[in-house]
Amino acid sequence: MKRSLFILVVEDNPDHQLLIGYSLRASIPQAEPVFKATASETLLYLESCWENQSLFPKLVLLEVNLPHPEIGWQLLKEIRTRYARLPVLVLSSYQGPDYVQQAYELGAHSFIEKPLNLSDWENHFQALGAYWLGVVTLADKY
């Protein structure tokens, strides 16, 4: 099956990249995750595929601890400023109320606590796929 839905995953933990990649592909067959580990890599990638919208991601999954939250929060602000219609879903192992509030105040579309096991990752991404690809109509161009 040809994969056609690019999902940008901003995650600096290689183990989490493996879990996320496997779970996304298992739960959303048309998903093609693109992994970036830093804010600068992320912004360069978005700029490079801006001209070719067929390669531009439909969703961003952003771990804000890159490795410090200030970096992730700044990246979220940059994405919101440059690509206002691009949905950004914050992923984090930490979900304190201030953290969740900050994510939404900076323009995140969702806040997802990272699951603890593979089965939960797959369940999360099945629900994510059902909502973002089945219920919501995403923009063709960002």
Identify the DSSP state of 84: T
In whole angstroms, give the CA distance from residue 39 to residue 119. Answer: 29
- pLDDT by position in tens, the chain (length 142): 455 789 999 999 999 999 999 999 999 999 999 999 999 999 999 999 988 888 899 999 999 998 889 999 999 999 999 999 999 999 998 878 898 999 999 999 999 999 989 899 999 999 999 999 889 988 877 7
Given a contact cutoff of 8 angstroms between Cβ atoms, the answer to whether 89 and 60 are in contact is yes
Parse the chain into domains and list their residue ranges. 5-135
Of the candidate CATH numbers 3.40.50.620, 3.40.1410.10, 3.40.50.850, 3.40.50.2300, the domain formed by 5-135 belongs to: 3.40.50.2300
- Residue-level pLDDT at 3: 54
Global pTM value:
0.93
- Residue-level pLDDT at 1: 44
Given a contact cutoff of 8 angstroms between Cβ atoms, the answer to whether 23 and 15 are in contact is no
